[in-house]
Each structure stands twice: as C-alpha cells, then as structure tokens.
C-alpha cells in the first residue's frame, strides 16, 4: 500500500481541472501528473478512436504510478480513469474492461469534482459545451457508485483553489 497522498481532480470539460491541479501543486509544493489525453491526442495524425481511449487510460495510470514512486508524500493528478470511462460510454456506448478494472484500483485519497460554475472556454479537444451539467451529474453518480471519497469544488479564481485546499486539508487531518 502506498504512503503517498493522492488527490485526483476530475469533472466535465472546461471546469478548471488543469488550473486547479497546478494551483494545488504550488500550494503544497507537490508534483502534478498532467492529463495524458491532451498530449496523446495532440500527437495523433488522425481523429481519435475508441482504441485510443485504452492507450490514454494506460498512459494516465502509468504516469500516476511513476509519480507515486518518485514523490513519497503527496501528488495531484489532473484527471483520472472515471473520465475515460464516461468519455467512452458516452461516445461509443461501451468501455474497455481494462479501464473498468483499473478504476477499482485507483486508490485516490480524495477526488475533487469540479463544478460547472466556470464559463466555458473553447479548446480544440473539447466537444460538449452544452452538456456540462449532464456530465457533472454523471461523474458524481460514478464517484458515489464506487464509494470514492469526493468533494465538489466551486468558486472562481482564488475561491475555487481555497475550496479545494479546504477539502484536501480535511483528508490530511483525518490521519
């Protein structure tokens, strides 16, 4: 069992996950695992396909495992595998069994679920500006289904970061 405090930042598109991850990493002077999907899709010379989601899941998982070995106290992950499950189910109607199994073993101490209270920002990789609340509710349902500990993060700018810090502090203090 790992002694590393692992915090996953999750939620719909354009909810400030990357910015929040960086802010938490800076606050705690802890490493941040970037979202593997961004670089993977940027490198593709074609539209992504369902098989790519499996590669993205494996890449994200490997990046978190590597960071966990290198940084023994705390790390923040900009996304996690529930995102890929929801993405796959929504777009293709199925999800690879490896992804489903890997979700069960993610062992994050806390999931920070980003609310949709931020304005939408266009990005070439974002697909569903009109479905953010639909996806937020789906993520919440998934976290509850797995029994994973989570906190909803709300607010703009520094207020959002402070909301996340308070949630992380509750986890750190319970030990």
At residue 175, does pLDDT exceed 70? Answer: no
Q: What is the pTM of this model?
A: 0.92
Q: Mind listing the pLDDT tens digit for each residue in 60-110? A: 999 999 999 887 789 999 999 999 999 999 999 999 999 999 999 999 999
E-assigned strand segments in the chain: 5-10, 32-33, 74-78, 110-114, 150-153
Q: Where are the domains of the chain?
A: 5-173
Q: What is the pLDDT of residue 173?
A: 80
Helix (H) or strand (E) holding 42: helix 36-43
Instruction: Provide the pLDDT for residue 96.
Output: 97
| Protein fold of 5-173 | Rossmann fold (3.40.50)
What are the pLDDT digits (tens) for 23-69? 999 999 999 999 999 899 999 989 999 999 999 999 999 999 999 98
Nearest to 84 by CA among 40, 47, 150: 40
């Amino acid at each position: 069992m790992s002694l590393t405090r692992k915090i996953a930042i999750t939620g719909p598109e354009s909810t400030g996950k990357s910015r929040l991850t960086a802010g938490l990493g800076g606050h705690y002077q802890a490493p941040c695992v970037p979202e593997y999907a961004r670089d993977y899709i940027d490198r593709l010379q074609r539209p992504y396909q369902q098989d790519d989601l499996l590669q993205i899941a494996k890449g994200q998982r490997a990046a978190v495992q590597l960071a966990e070995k290198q940084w023994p106290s705390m790390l923040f992950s900009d996304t996690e595998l529930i995102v890929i499950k929801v993405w796959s189910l929504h777009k293709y109607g199925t999800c690879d069994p490896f992804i489903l199994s890997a979700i069960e073993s993610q062992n994050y101490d806390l999931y920070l679920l980003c609310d949709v209270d931020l304005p939408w920002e266009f990005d070439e990789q974002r697909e569903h500006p009109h479905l953010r609340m639909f996806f937020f509710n789906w993520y919440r349902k998934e976290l509850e289904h797995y029994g994973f500990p989570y906190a909803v993060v709300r607010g703009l700018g520094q207020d959002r970061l402070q909301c996340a810090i308070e949630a992380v502090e509750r986890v750190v203090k319970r030990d």
